[in-house]
Amino acid sequence: MDIDIDSQLNIYRIVQELLSNALKHSKATQVLVMLICIKDQVVLHYEDDGVGFDASHLDQHTMSMGLSGIRERVKALNGKLQIHTAPEKGLKVKIEMEL
């Protein structure tokens, strides 16, 4: 599967932002990042065991710049973004992109 350079850069920046957030905010001791390519689909899975946050704060007006940037990059990739979190429950992010 060939992934164009713009998509590669967006995926890289998404992972970079997730890891940056883990270092700055989450107090995670473990982080898992998986990039899975199957046929014409790419799935990025991120998970940490950090402090998490209240998922009700995920609307666009209260979303941090980091998560907002991730949302915009996923949109540019015509992808789907799922975020699962809760206080003291860590963070799970799943991004699916058709290529």
pLDDT given for residue 64 in this prediction? 67
Sorted by where each starts, the structural domains of the chain and their CATH numbers stand as 5-98 (3.30.565.10)
d(CA 97, CA 8): 12
What single-letter DSSP state applies at residue 27? -
Q: What is the mean pLDDT of residues 79-97?
A: 96
pLDDT of 63 strictly over 60: no
Whole-number average pLDDT of the chain: 90
pLDDT of 61 strictly over 50: no
Judge contact between 34 and 45, C-beta under 8 A. Answer: yes
Q: Is residue 14 classed as helix, strand or coil in its secondary structure?
A: helix
pLDDT of 85 strictly over 80: yes
